């Protein structure tokens, strides 16, 4: 029977944002000015490389934003046409990683190990000894793990490298073909120019990033079917699965919280800068008071109020996933409504400068209404600041979520998040012997995501900010013939 699809709040907003990104990409392709600005972004090698990593994260977020509940088998005596569904809500990413979900162990296990981390007491030859039992799933295919484990790991790593390199080569060939068609040049000539780093976009750096990503994905996919790549936690759940699930939480927090800041920041900032006078003073007083309250304390108080409301109304939700999703959506709203002051202040200053320009003064002299002037003349000229601040604040909001979840006032404990993993890893790091892999997995994934966002944000700022450094096109490298070089020498 077909499953029942569940549309969560954050699913709807995530797919709406993806649709907006597609529409904006079409608008960029049709606008020469926007296309030139975004071309400047990708002329920066770190921004180009980080965009590939962020693209993979967006794909994981999209797959994890399709939720459904499986239909249960019919029970004798059930009326005809009545279908009961499982209380567990799964996602598209859960379907792709079903092998990791089903490979649950009893407790901790080291990365790529076939033995449990904890020792059990067993009777061997009439004597009680403390031994590490075999895992249920990790390395279960090995009949003699003491002699087969190293060779099996090497074989799977080699297979993963071959698959990853094959994927990277296929992507490189597709890129060369697309560039050759765009430039109207030969395939080999285009490949040689990319390798020599000719042109204004550093395709060679992007290809090396793609090779690294493809090999890592290939090796991970090859290993995760037989081993726990990053080990398991105290309940035996796979740490790699938890880390991948945290990516959606981080992107939802960063994107939805940023969107929530825009209405208040844009409207109040432009109004304060354009009208000035008592309107400016009231708005300044409002965001000055808001800025004087410590953000962490204000956010924690709002989140605790949300938690109390959800605890008093448990009948509003059919499953625990829906309850956790509502809490996540409200957390995004709280982060947005408490973090708009800095963007509002920036837009106010820019609007005060724009209202004195000639075309704004001319529109005012012709009797154009203030609302129309702000919408048609002021707003388009501050849009680049909104884009820059939005991208720059994205990583800060991800770190906010990690801090809030670390202190226990972030997302629901049933939802995977980097802060929740770090909070649990804090206790595991104090064990003897130390359980280190959960902390390093969460920390590594979070740093990768945040660093990629920051590098991409630097490229966006340099391209869209008029005060940023000027981009100069990279001139093609012309190589002299060997005979001419010898004559000149």
Q: Which helix (H) or strand (E) holds 223?
A: helix 203-224
- Cβ atoms of 14 and 62 closer than 8 Å: yes
Helix axes 203-224, 145-183, angle to 10 degrees: 150
Kindly state the average pLDDT of the residues 388-395.
81
Phi, psi of 52 (to 5 degrees): -65, -40
pLDDT score of 220 more than 50: yes
pTM: 0.85
Kindly report, residue by residue over 240-278, the tens digit of the pLDDT. Answer: 999 999 999 999 988 888 888 888 899 999 999 988 888
* The pLDDT value given to residue 470: 46
Q: Which residue has the higher pLDDT, 225 or 484?
A: 225
* The pLDDT value given to residue 487: 46
Query: What does the alpha-carbon distance between residue 176 and residue 189 come to, in Å, rounded to a whole number?
Result: 9
Mean pLDDT over all residues of the chain?
A: 85
Kindly state the average pLDDT of the residues 346-375.
87
Helix axes 45-63, 437-464, angle to 10 degrees: 120
Query: What does the alpha-carbon distance between residue 181 and residue 171 come to, in Å, rounded to a whole number?
Result: 15
* The pLDDT value given to residue 466: 58
Banded pLDDT at 95 (limits 50, 70, 90): very high
Query: What does the alpha-carbon distance between residue 245 and residue 93 come to, in Å, rounded to a whole number?
Result: 8
* The pLDDT value given to residue 482: 45
* The pLDDT value given to residue 163: 94
- Cβ atoms of 69 and 89 closer than 8 Å: yes
Q: What percent of the chain has pLDDT over 70?
A: 93
Banded pLDDT at 468 (limits 50, 70, 90): low
* The pLDDT value given to residue 292: 83
Kindly report, residue by residue over 318-348, the tens digit of the pLDDT. Answer: 788 888 888 888 888 888 888 888 889 989 9
- The sign one gets for the Cα dihedral 136, 141, 146, 150 is negative
**Which of 73-82, 235-244, 456-465 is least confident?**
73-82
**Which of 246-255, 269-278, 289-298, 360-369 is least confident?**
289-298
* The pLDDT value given to residue 216: 94
* The pLDDT value given to residue 475: 45
Instruction: For the chain, state the CA radius of gyration.
Output: 28
Query: What does the alpha-carbon distance between residue 217 and residue 211 come to, in Å, rounded to a whole number?
Result: 10
pLDDT score of 161 more than 80: yes
Phi, psi of 73 (to 5 degrees): -65, 145
* The pLDDT value given to residue 408: 73
In degrees, rounded to 5, the angle at the alpha carbon of residue 271 between the alpha carbons of residues 265 and 272 is 85
pLDDT score of 488 more than 60: no
Kindly state the average pLDDT of the residues 111-120.
85
- Own/partner contacts of 91-99, CB < 8 Å, gap of 24 or more, are 91/63, 91/64, 91/65, 91/66, 91/67, 92/62, 92/63, 92/64, 92/65, 92/66, 93/60, 93/63, 93/64, 93/244, 93/245, 93/248, 94/64, 96/63, 97/241, 97/244, 99/224, 99/225
| DSSP letters for 24-40 | HHHHHHH-HHHHHHHHH
Kindly state the average pLDDT of the residues 282-294.
85
Query: What does the alpha-carbon distance between residue 89 and residue 429 come to, in Å, rounded to a whole number?
Result: 31
């Amino acid at each position: 029977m077909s499953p029942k699809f569940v549309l969560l709040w954050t699913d709807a907003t995530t797919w709406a944002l993806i649709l907006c990104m597609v529409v904006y990409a079409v608008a960029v392709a049709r606008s020469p000015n926007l296309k030139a600005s975004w071309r400047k972004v990708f002329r920066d090698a770190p921004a180009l490389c980080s965009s590939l990593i962020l693209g993979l994260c967006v794909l994981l977020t999209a797959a994890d934003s399709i939720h459904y509940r499986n239909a249960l088998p019919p029970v004798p005596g059930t009326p005809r046409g009545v279908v009961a569904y499982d209380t567990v809500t799964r996602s598209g990413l859960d379907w792709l990683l079903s092998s990791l979900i089903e490979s649950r162990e009893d407790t901790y296990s080291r990365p790529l190990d076939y033995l449990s981390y904890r020792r059990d007491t067993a009777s061997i030859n009439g004597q009680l000894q403390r031994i590490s039992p075999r895992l249920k799933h990790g390395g279960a295919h090995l009949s003699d793990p003491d002699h087969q484990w190293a060779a099996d790991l090497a074989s799977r790593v080699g297979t993963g490298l071959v698959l990853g390199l094959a994927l990277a080569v296929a992507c490189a060939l597709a890129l060369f073909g697309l560039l050759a068609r765009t430039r109207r040049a030969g395939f080999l000539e285009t490949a040689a120019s990319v390798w020599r780093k000719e042109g204004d976009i550093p395709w060679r750096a992007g290809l090396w990033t793609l090779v690294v990503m493809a090999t890592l994905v290939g090796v991970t996919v090859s290993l995760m079917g037989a081993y726990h790549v990053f080990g398991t936690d105290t309940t035996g759940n796979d740490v790699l699965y938890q880390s991948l699930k945290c990516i959606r939480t981080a992107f939802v927090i960063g994107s939805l919280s940023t969107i929530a800041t825009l209405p208040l920041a844009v409207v109040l900032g432009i109004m304060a800068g354009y009208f000035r006078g008592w309107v400016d003073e009231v708005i300044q007083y409002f965001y000055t008071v808001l800025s004087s309250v410590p953000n962490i304390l204000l956010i924690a108080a709002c989140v605790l109020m949300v938690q109390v409301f959800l605890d008093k109304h448990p009948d509003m939700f059919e499953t625990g996933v829906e309850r956790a999703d509502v809490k996540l959506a409200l957390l995004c709203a709280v982060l947005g409504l408490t973090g708009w002051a800095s963007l509002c202040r920036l837009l106010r200053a820019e609007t005060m400068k724009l209202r004195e320009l000639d075309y704004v003064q001319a529109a005012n002299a012709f009797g154009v209404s203030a609302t129309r002037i702000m919408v048609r003349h002021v707003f388009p000229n501050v849009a680049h600041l909104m884009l820059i601040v939005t991208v720059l604040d994205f990583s800060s909001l991800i770190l906010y979520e990690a801090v809030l979840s670390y202190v226990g006032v972030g997302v629901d404990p049933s939802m995977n998040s980097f802060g929740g993993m770090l909070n649990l890893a804090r206790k595991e790091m104090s064990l003897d012997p130390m359980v280190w892999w959960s902390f390093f997995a969460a920390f590594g994934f979070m740093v990768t995501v945040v660093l990629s966002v920051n590098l991409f944000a630097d490229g966006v700022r340099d391209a869209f900010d008029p005060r940023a450094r000027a981009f100069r096109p990279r001139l093609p490298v012309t190589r002299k013939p060997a005979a001419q070089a010898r004559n000149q020498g």
